Amino acid sequence: MKKPHSNTGFLSFLFSRYLARALFSLLLVSVTLQTSAESWDDPPAMKRKRILMVEKQIESRGIRNRDVLDAMREVPRHLFVPEYLKNRAYEDNPLPIGEGQTISQPYIVALMTESLELKGDEKVLEIGTGSGYQAAVLSRIVREVYTIEIKPYLFRKAKKRLESLGFSNVHVKEGDGYFGWKEHAPFDCIMITAAVNHIPPPLLAQLKDGGKLILPLGNPFGFQNLVLVTKHGSDYTLKGITGVLFVPMTGEALKHSP
């Protein structure tokens, strides 16, 4: 009688191929991440400035969240400002990035990020990409970042910068952030990085129940209050944090009043 054919060898072969492919994929991801980090123009002098920025400007003002502090130490802020401002990137103030917009003061970036009380598995929407720096900081803490920029020039620059630096979990869109990004809603958190005199209803609608939204709320052409909004079903609560001065949110936001 003929012995039945055994599949053991064939199964072993398939398993070996699968294992080899899995190991190759992991190696490829590791090399890609390492290459992205090594390709940053991040000389020791800039790293020292960044460490001092966190120590003197951020920790000294009460920021304690380790993930936020680590992200601020890691992301090369000098690569998010115009070339002529690189040596000033770690100063304790906002800097112009073109189109009448600014990159926020490092402390404010850290404060807004810490105020969201992020755990690491969130999907976050940012309104006002600007240079892409705030999105880059968020990307080091959360699962996915979706960010919208209304100005075409800044959108193109930020998208190219974030991609070239390897921030692969940041998704950039050109458009009016007032209307949010409905295709990817709901969001665990939303951050608005431009001044507006009311909370945009479309953004509240795209926020998860229990989610948090932070924004500079007040006169777009004067001073504002940094406010944390927490959604509770069809209602929400507000918590004032500090006084701030942001550039106005443009587009649809300027057509509406409270």
* Structural domain total, the chain: 1
CATH of the domain at 235: 3.40.50.150
The reply to whether 60 falls in a domain is no
Report the pLDDT value the prediction gives residue 41, as an integer from 0 to 100: 85
Task: State the catalytic residues.
Answer: 104
Crossing angle between the packed helical segments 66-74 and 106-115, to the nearest 10 degrees: 140
The reply to whether 20 falls in a domain is no
The reply to whether 233 falls in a domain is yes
Report the pLDDT value the prediction gives residue 7, as an integer from 0 to 100: 54
The reply to whether 232 falls in a domain is yes
All residue ranges of the chain with pLDDT < 70 are 1-39, 257-258
Report the pLDDT value the prediction gives residue 24, as an integer from 0 to 100: 42
The reply to whether 206 falls in a domain is yes
The reply to whether 144 falls in a domain is yes
Residues 56 and 52: their CA atoms lie apart, in Å, by: 6
What are the φ/ψ torsions at residue 101 (nearest 5 degrees)? Answer: -110, 165
Is residue 86 within 8 A of residue 109, CB to CB? The reply is no
Mean pLDDT of the chain: 89
Which residue, among 137, 138, 130, 134, has the nearest Cα to 155 in the 3D structure? Answer: 130
The reply to whether 51 falls in a domain is no
The reply to whether 80 falls in a domain is no
pLDDT tens, 181-221?
999 999 999 999 999 999 999 999 999 999 999 999 999 99
Report the pLDDT value the prediction gives residue 207, as an integer from 0 to 100: 98
Identify the domain containing residue 154 by its residue range.
Answer: 93-255
Report the pLDDT value the prediction gives residue 84, as an integer from 0 to 100: 97
